[in-house]
Chain A
Amino acid sequence: MEELRLMKGNDAIAEAAIRAGADGYFGYPITPQSEILETLMVLEPWKTTSMVVLQAESEVSAINMVYGGGGCGKKVLTTSSSPGISLMQEGISYMAGAEIPCLLVNVVRGGPGLGTIQPSQADYFQACKGGGHGDYKLIVLAPSSVQEMADFVELGFDLAFKYRTPALILSDGAIGQMMEKVMLKEQKPRWTEAEIRKNNPWATTGRGPNRNQNLLTSLELDSAVQEQVNIRLQAKYKKMQENEVRFEAIQCDDADYIFVAFGLTARICQKSLALAREKGIKVGLLRPITLFPFPEKQLADLSKKVKGMLVVEMNAGQMIEDVKLSVNCNVKVEHFGRLGGIIPSPNEILEALENKIIGGK
Chain B
Amino acid sequence: MNDIIKPENLVYQKSKILHEKAFHYCPGCGHSTAHRILAEVIEEMGIEETTLGVCPVGCSVFAYHYLNVDMQQAAHGRATAIATAMKRLFPDHFVFTYQGDGDLAAIGTAETIHACNRGENFTIIFINNGIYGMTGGQMAPTTLPGMKSSTCPYGRDTSIMGNPLKITEMVATLPGTYYVTRQAVHTPAAVRKCKKALRKAFESQKLKKGTSFVEIVSNCNSGWKMKPVESNKWMEENMFPFFPLGDIKVPQE
Contacts and interface: CB of A to CB of B under 8 A. Distances in A.
A57 B51 contact: no
Contacts of A60: 78, 81, 110-111
Given A91-B75, A217-B73, A67 B90 contact: no
A207 B49 contact: yes
B57 to A, nearest CB: 9
B85 A214 contact: no
Contact of B85 (A66, A213, A218): A66
A69 interface: yes
A26 B87 CA distance: 13
Interface in A194-239: 204-209, 212-219
Contacts of B69: 206-207, 213
A214 B70 contact: yes
A213 B16 CA distance: 13
B238 interface: no
A290 B238 CA distance: 59
Contact of B49 (A94, A208, A218): A208
Interface in A272-327: none
Contacts of A57: 110-111, 114
A56 interface: yes
A204 B71 contact: yes
A52 B72 contact: no
Nearest to B64: A215
B74 interface: yes
B172 interface: no
Interface in A96-145: 98
A66 B51 CA distance: 19
B71 A24 contact: no
- State which size class the interface on A falls in: 35 or more
B70 A205 contact: yes
A96 B50 CA distance: 26
B48 A207 contact: yes
B82 interface: yes
A279 B88 CA distance: 60
A58 B82 CA distance: 13
Interface string B81-96: 1111110111001000
A153 interface: no
A67 B86 CA distance: 9
Interface stretch (A70-78, A165-173, A347-355): A70-78
Interface in A15-58: 23-24, 26, 52, 54, 56-58
A192 B84 CA distance: 20
A72 B84 CA distance: 12
Contacts of B78: 60-61, 64, 67, 91
A68 interface: yes
B73 A206 contact: no
B85 A26 contact: yes
Interface in B28-64: 48-52, 54, 61, 64
A24 B70 contact: no
Nearest to B82: A68
A65 B64 contact: no
Given A64-B78, A64-B82, A206-B70, 7 more contacts: A56-B81, A61-B81, A72-B90, A205-B70, A205-B90, A215-B64, A215-B72
Interface of B: 48-52, 54, 61, 64, 68-75, 78, 81-86, 88-90, 93, 110-111, 114
9 contacts: A24-B85, A58-B110, A61-B81, A206-B69, A207-B48, A207-B68, A207-B69, A207-B70, A209-B49
